[in-house]
Amino acid sequence: MRRRIIKQGHSTLTVTLPNKWVKKNNLKPKDEIDLFERGNNLLITVEKQNFDLVTELDISELDIPVIWKYFMAIYREGYHEIKVKFNPNQFFGSPYKFFTSYAFDLKYRRKPQSLTPFETIQIIANRFIGFEVIEHRKDYCIIREMSEISGKEFDSALRRVFLLILQMGEIMLEAIKTNNLDLLKPTNDMDINVDKFHDYCVRILNKKGLEKKPHLMFTSLFILELVGDEFKNVARHLLEEFKNKRLNNLKPVAELIIQQLNAFYSLFYSFNKEKVIEMSKRDYDVHFYLPKLYYKESKKEIKLSEIELEIFNHFRRMSKLINALTELRLEMEF
């Protein structure tokens, strides 16, 4: 929509607010709104409304995976308070067993259907930064955001997402180089932390509207989280199916992926044309490494197992995701 600028007095310029938006946000004369400058853009927001966002969720007929999805959606959208209703006679399995579903997550194993609804809600709430259970009754509890978030926290949370994923990659590479797969056991906890800070970043974006092109940052965060998932998938395969096996075939492509990821990290925080060109080269190296490997296999110079091929497919997906992130970062410059 467009608005005409109106001159008032000698130096004051005003513009009217859309009536539909005013009614939607229940604005009245003398109410305050917040303005943020983003380059040539001026963002108008009603921040006080965010802290009054309250919703209700009945988990009585939901399973754990669906409960996770509801909590993530509510949290990311910036709700301040959730009233969670439940059937006090219902029992659940470990939320993290369902959330991760990997055999090597031994610390999350527990007898099936042994957690009360409140225990389940408490565990899930602890996964979300700033959320605390403040009230517990027989058939419901209330979760509330206990600290006010600020835009300054976005940069540190985003950096944390990057560093955790980079660390997952470095640990994976070290495990492959040294044939010490026990190094991979913390991978799933690290991925849970990636998810935690990812959701926190999305929550801040939804509540504060910080970015010049928020849709690009939303998408970038989503793809970064997928990269973390791919490292988790590789760790699962290695721990479950590669015990006491040699990992020589995996080392070169793992090194290429880590180099590509580190190059993107550098590009994201220090953008220039030379680094874009370098990212293209990294993508080229990964793209043409695997066909060469398959060619050697066809010539019987090497023999790849089915699980090795599966891991190579995960590496291929990582490379494609990093390439997509590069395209989004390039778009942020315009």
User: Using one digit for the tens of pLDDT, what is the confidence trace for 246-259?
Assistant: 778 889 999 999 99
Does some domain include residue 9?
A: no
Q: How confident is the model at residue 289 (pLDDT cuts 50, 70, 90)?
A: confident
Q: How confident is the model at residue 39 (pLDDT cuts 50, 70, 90)?
A: low
**Minimum mean pLDDT among 226-230, 296-300, 323-327: which range?**
296-300
Does some domain include residue 241?
A: yes
Q: What b/e string do you get for 233-265 counting C-beta neighbours within 10 Å, with b at 16 or more?
A: bbbbebbeebeeeebebbeebbebbbbbbebbb
What pLDDT sits at residue 49? Answer: 46
Query: Do 179 and 321 fall into the same domain?
Result: yes
Query: Do 36 and 71 fall into the same domain?
Result: no
Does some domain include residue 320?
A: yes
Query: Do 103 and 213 fall into the same domain?
Result: no
Higher pLDDT pick, 11 / 170:
170
Does some domain include residue 65?
A: yes
Query: Do 321 and 269 fall into the same domain?
Result: yes
Instruction: Report the domain count for the chain.
Output: 3
Query: Do 240 and 256 fall into the same domain?
Result: yes
Query: Do 234 and 285 fall into the same domain?
Result: yes
Given 117, 145, 173, the domain boundary residue is 145
Query: Average pLDDT for residues 169-198, to the nearest whole number?
Result: 94
Does some domain include residue 112?
A: yes
Query: Do 183 and 113 fall into the same domain?
Result: no
What pLDDT sits at residue 74? Answer: 96
What pLDDT sits at residue 299? Answer: 59
What pLDDT sits at residue 104? Answer: 43
What is the extent of the structural domain holding 71?
A: 54-145
Query: Do 171 and 288 fall into the same domain?
Result: yes
Does some domain include residue 5?
A: no
Query: Do 165 and 136 fall into the same domain?
Result: no
CB 184 within 8 A of CB 171: yes
What pLDDT sits at residue 103? Answer: 43
Q: Is the pTM of this model over 0.85?
A: no
Find the CATH number of the domain harbouring 181: 1.20.58.220
Residue 145 has pLDDT above 70, yes or no: yes
Residue 314 has pLDDT above 50, yes or no: yes
Query: Do 85 and 233 fall into the same domain?
Result: no
Q: How confident is the model at residue 2 (pLDDT cuts 50, 70, 90)?
A: confident
Structure-block tokens of residue 29: 């004369």
What pLDDT sits at residue 40? Answer: 62
